[in-house]
Amino acid sequence: MVKTAVVTGAGSGVGRACTLGLLADGWTVVLTGRRAVRLEETARLAPDRDRGRALAVPADITDPVAVDGLFAAVQDRFGRLDLLFNNAADTMPYTATEEVSAEDWHRVMDSIATGTFLCSRAAFRMMKRQSPRGGRIINNGAPSAQAPRPDSIAFTAAKHAVAGLARSLSLDGRRYDISCGQIDIGNVTPDDRPQPAVRQADGSFRAEPTMDMRHVVDMVRAMAALPVGVNIQSVLVMPSAMPYIGRG
pLDDT digits (tens, 9 = 90+) for 222-235: 999 999 899 999 99
**Those residues with Cβ within 8 angstroms of residue 232's Cβ, 6 or more apart along the chain or in another chain:** 181, 222, 223, 226
pLDDT over 70 (residue 246): no
Q: 213-225 pLDDT, tens per residue?
A: 999 999 999 999 9
User: Mean per-residue pLDDT for 75-96?
Assistant: 96
User: Mean per-residue pLDDT for 55-82?
Assistant: 98
Q: 119-143 pLDDT, tens per residue?
A: 999 999 999 999 999 999 999 999 9
User: Mean per-residue pLDDT for 105-111?
Assistant: 98
pLDDT over 70 (residue 248): no
- Residue 194: what pLDDT? 80
Please list, residue by residue across 97-131, b when 16 or more beta carbons sit within 10 angstroms of its beta carbon and e when fewer do: eeebeeebeebbbbbbbbbbbbbbebbbebbbebe
- Residue 190: what pLDDT? 86
- Residue 203: what pLDDT? 81
What is the model's pTM? 0.95
**Those residues with Cβ within 8 angstroms of residue 187's Cβ, 6 or more apart along the chain or in another chain:** 195, 208, 209, 210, 211, 238, 239, 242
User: Mean per-residue pLDDT for 197-220?
Assistant: 91
The percentage of the chain sitting over the pLDDT mark of 90, rounded to a whole number, equals 86
147, 244 contact by CB (below 8 A)? yes
**CATH architecture, domain 4-247:** 3-Layer(aba) Sandwich (3.40)
